[in-house]
């Protein structure tokens, strides 16, 4: 507890410095499409090997893996073609045409080895077609460079944002566009088909016909993005309010307020961290903040439970001793809990992509700052609160009656401290050689056990 003001200063520095640097150095947060609207499309740029035209009235599912080609059709058994080192594109086309009611159109060399095909697991709707692509050369590396693609897109659309998806040899890219300048439908929504058509036509003009495969696309209007932003803020406020009510009901009001301040500290510190490292602010980051709040309140309640127990065991001692004792007793559990979550989340950060990486990135920092706030923010706030309240009450009594009945050692909750019997080790004026906070509580417990045993 004696380091509480240092901890408060560190927290203010992290939050104010982080948010200040976000706007002063980086020009603001990296808002994702969830919060500002726009258009996004994940595409692959590579030559087409063959096209499948589904002539069925039902959809078909095709899984092109390294070892096997499988396809499924509603009401029929799965068909599979084992792929060997010698399997060519012509053999794959023949298998699909013989066993399925759809046509295959080759657009590459029939002798092309299947190992150059991109693995694909997809669904083709009735009377729809889909292209399967291949790497131009297994040894030549990626054909499309992201820097070159960025220059090409800048001539097609305004202010595109491009990100590599997966490994460079996968030749997949995520394209994001802001809402400004995009064509709209009569209803005021973004015309996704028109945007996609413009992008596809421009890229195929540069890289060749049928080289662009759209993996996924999404359009979000500014109005809907505003709804997401408002909903996210409401979700965080509701979570904090429920936490305040729960902790107040289970403990006391000052405990609840201190817990909510600590949770708000965790949320703001994570927001500052996300801004400094320019992590995309999307719904995954909001989910991470809500998850961090959940883990942090759990650590805080563990400490609060121990404080309530030690208020009885250390009755007559000041609040600082109760706080130090409780934190010392629960520190190991807090550390182990946080370490367990950290070990589970960190691999997601290392190997995840997209929203998964954004979520884990915020969680890694949030778990650390959540444990820090439970120990150095939540409990010390109660101490500062209670001391200020006691001081105000003593001043009021002195002003009205000329003396105060409130002892200096009054503990949390405003209960009056009672002196322990002289024979109780806790009340001894001379310090015991082993009188640390945890040891002193243990000595009280041992004495109570001995009394119970004698009776």
- Same domain? 254 vs 205: no
How far apart CA 410 and CA 118 sit, in angstroms, is: 72
Q: Is residue 130 part of a domain?
A: yes
Query: Which helix (DSSP H) or strand (DSSP E) does residue 38 occupy?
Result: strand 38-45
Instruction: From 367, 391, 415, give the residue that closes a domain.
Output: 391
* Confidence class for position 293, pLDDT limits 50, 70, 90: very high
Sheet holding 79-82, edge to edge: 79-82, 68-73, 60-64, 120-124
- Same domain? 293 vs 178: no
pLDDT of 450 reads 65
Please answer whether residues 47 and 116 qualify as being in contact, where contact means their C-beta atoms are separated by less than 8 angstroms: no
Q: Classify residue 52 as exposed, middle or buried by CB count within 10 Å of its CB (0-12, 13-18, 19+).
A: buried
- The answer, yes or no, to whether residue 315 has pLDDT greater than 60, is yes
Cα 159 to the center of its chain, rounded Å: 27
pLDDT of 369 reads 94
Q: Is residue 230 part of a domain?
A: yes
DSSP letter string, 213-270: EEEEEEEE-HHHHHHHHHHHHHHHHHHHHHHHHHHHHHS-HHHHHHHHHHHHHHHHHH
Instruction: From 344, 362, 391, give the residue that closes a domain.
Output: 391
How far apart CA 455 and CA 450 sit, in angstroms, is: 9
How far apart CA 352 and CA 358 sit, in angstroms, is: 9
How far apart CA 4 and CA 7 sit, in angstroms, is: 5
- Same domain? 194 vs 247: no
Cα 217 to the center of its chain, rounded Å: 23
Of 33-47, 74-88, 416-430, the one with minimum mean pLDDT is 416-430
- Same domain? 29 vs 57: no
Q: Is residue 416 part of a domain?
A: no
**Residue positions counted in the chain:** 455
Give the mean model confidence (pLDDT) for residues 127-142: 69
Cα atoms in the Cβ-side hemisphere of radius 13 Å centred on 31: 17
- Same domain? 130 vs 66: yes
Give the mean model confidence (pLDDT) for residues 235-247: 91
Cα 134 to the center of its chain, rounded Å: 35
Please answer whether residues 99 and 52 qualify as being in contact, where contact means their C-beta atoms are separated by less than 8 angstroms: no
How far apart CA 235 and CA 232 sit, in angstroms, is: 5
Q: Is residue 307 part of a domain?
A: yes
* Confidence class for position 130, pLDDT limits 50, 70, 90: confident
Q: What is the pTM of this model?
A: 0.72
Please answer whether residues 165 and 80 qualify as being in contact, where contact means their C-beta atoms are separated by less than 8 angstroms: no
The top-scoring range by mean pLDDT among 329-343, 381-395, 406-420 is 329-343
How far apart CA 144 and CA 301 sit, in angstroms, is: 53
Sorted by sequence, the CB contacts under 8 Å of residue 94 that are 6+ apart come out as none
How far apart CA 326 and CA 309 sit, in angstroms, is: 9
The CATH number that applies at residue 359 is 1.20.1640.10
pLDDT of 422 reads 39
Give the mean model confidence (pLDDT) for residues 288-309: 91
- Same domain? 81 vs 21: no
Of 132-136, 171-175, 217-221, the one with minimum mean pLDDT is 132-136
Please answer whether residues 246 and 234 qualify as being in contact, where contact means their C-beta atoms are separated by less than 8 angstroms: no
Pairing outcome for strands 129-133 and 120-124? unpaired
Q: Is residue 232 part of a domain?
A: yes
Please answer whether residues 311 and 411 qualify as being in contact, where contact means their C-beta atoms are separated by less than 8 angstroms: yes
Sorted by sequence, the CB contacts under 8 Å of residue 314 that are 6+ apart come out as 321, 322, 325, 411, 426, 440, 441, 444
Q: Classify residue 248 as exposed, middle or buried by CB count within 10 Å of its CB (0-12, 13-18, 19+).
A: middle
- Burial pattern 15-30, b for ≥16 Cβ within 10 A else e, equals beebbeebeeeeeebb
Question: Bridge-partner residues for 113, per DSSP?
Answer: 88
Pairing outcome for strands 68-73 and 161-165? unpaired
- Same domain? 155 vs 199: yes
* Interval 260-282: pLDDT, tens: 999 999 999 999 999 999 998 98
Instruction: From 220, 253, 269, give the residue that closes a domain.
Output: 220
- Same domain? 266 vs 157: no
pLDDT of 270 reads 95
Question: Bridge-partner residues for 134, per DSSP?
Answer: 117
How far apart CA 83 and CA 356 sit, in angstroms, is: 33
How far apart CA 5 and CA 391 sit, in angstroms, is: 18
Q: What are phi and psi of 346, to 5 degrees?
A: -60, -40
Q: Is residue 211 part of a domain?
A: yes
Cα-trace Rg, the chain: 32
* Interval 143-153: pLDDT, tens: 788 888 999 99
Task: Give the chain's end-to-end CA distance (angstroms, integer).
Answer: 38
* Interval 353-377: pLDDT, tens: 788 899 999 999 999 999 999 999 9
Q: Is residue 418 part of a domain?
A: no
Q: What does pLDDT average to over the chain?
A: 81
Sorted by sequence, the CB contacts under 8 Å of residue 349 that are 6+ apart come out as 357, 360, 361, 363, 364
How far apart CA 162 and CA 147 sit, in angstroms, is: 9
Of 42-51, 119-128, 198-207, the one with minimum mean pLDDT is 119-128
- Same domain? 253 vs 214: no
pLDDT of 106 reads 86
- Same domain? 18 vs 44: no
- Same domain? 215 vs 263: no
Domain that includes residue 108, residue range? 38-220
The count of structural domains within the chain is 3
Give the mean model confidence (pLDDT) for residues 321-345: 88
Q: Is residue 424 part of a domain?
A: no
pLDDT of 421 reads 43
- Same domain? 263 vs 372: yes
């Amino acid at each position: 507890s004696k380091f509480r003001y240092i901890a408060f200063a560190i927290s203010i520095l992290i939050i104010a410095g982080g948010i200040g640097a976000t706007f002063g150095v980086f020009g603001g947060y990296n808002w994702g499409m969830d919060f500002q609207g726009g258009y996004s499309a994940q595409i692959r740029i590579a030559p087409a090997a063959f096209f499948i035209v589904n002539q069925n009235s039902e959809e078909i599912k095709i899984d092109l893996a390294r070892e096997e080609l499988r396809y499924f059709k509603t009401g029929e058994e799965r068909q599979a073609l084992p792929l060997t080192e010698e399997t060519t594109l012509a053999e794959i086309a023949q298998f699909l045409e013989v066993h399925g009611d759809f046509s295959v159109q080759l657009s590459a060399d029939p002798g092309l080895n299947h190992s150059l095909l991109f693995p694909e697991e997809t669904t083709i709707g009735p009377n729809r077609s889909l292209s399967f692509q291949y790497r131009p050369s297994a040894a030549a590396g990626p054909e499309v460079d992201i820097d070159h693609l960025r220059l090409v897109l800048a001539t097609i659309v305004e202010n595109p944002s491009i990100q590599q998806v997966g490994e460079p040899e996968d030749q997949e890219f995520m394209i994001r566009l802001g809402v400004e300048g995009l064509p709209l439908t009569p209803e005021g929504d973004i015309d996704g088909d028109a945007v996609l058509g413009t992008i596809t036509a421009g890229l195929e003009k540069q890289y060749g016909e049928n080289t662009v495969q759209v993996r996924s696309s999404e359009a979000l209007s500014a109005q809907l993005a505003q709804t997401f932003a408002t909903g996210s803020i409401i979700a965080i406020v509701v979570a904090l309010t429920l936490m305040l009510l729960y902790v107040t009901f289970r403990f006391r009001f000052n405990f609840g307020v201190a817990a909510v301040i600590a949770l708000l500290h965790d949320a703001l510190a994570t927001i500052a961290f996300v801004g400094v490292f320019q992590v995309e602010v999307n719904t995954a980051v909001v989910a991470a903040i809500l998850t961090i709040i959940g883990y942090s309140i759990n650590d805080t309640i563990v400490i609060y439970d121990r404080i309530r127990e030690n208020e009885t065991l250390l009755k007559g001692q000041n609040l600082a001793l109760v706080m130090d004792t409780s934190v010392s007793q629960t520190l190991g559990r807090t550390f182990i809990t946080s370490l367990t979550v950290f070990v589970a989340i960190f691999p997601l950060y290392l190997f995840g992509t997209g929203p998964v990486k954004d979520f884990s990135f915020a969680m890694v920092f949030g778990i650390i700052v959540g444990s820090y706030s439970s120990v150095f923010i939540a409990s010390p706030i109660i101490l500062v609160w209670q001391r200020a309240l006691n001081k105000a009450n003593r001043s009021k009594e002195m002003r009205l009656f000329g003396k105060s009945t409130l002892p200096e050692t009054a503990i949390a909750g405003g209960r009056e401290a009672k002196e322990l019997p002289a024979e109780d080790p806790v009340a001894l004026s001379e310090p015991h050689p082993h009188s640390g906070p945890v040891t002193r509580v243990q000595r009280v417990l041992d004495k109570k056990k001995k009394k119970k045993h004698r009776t």
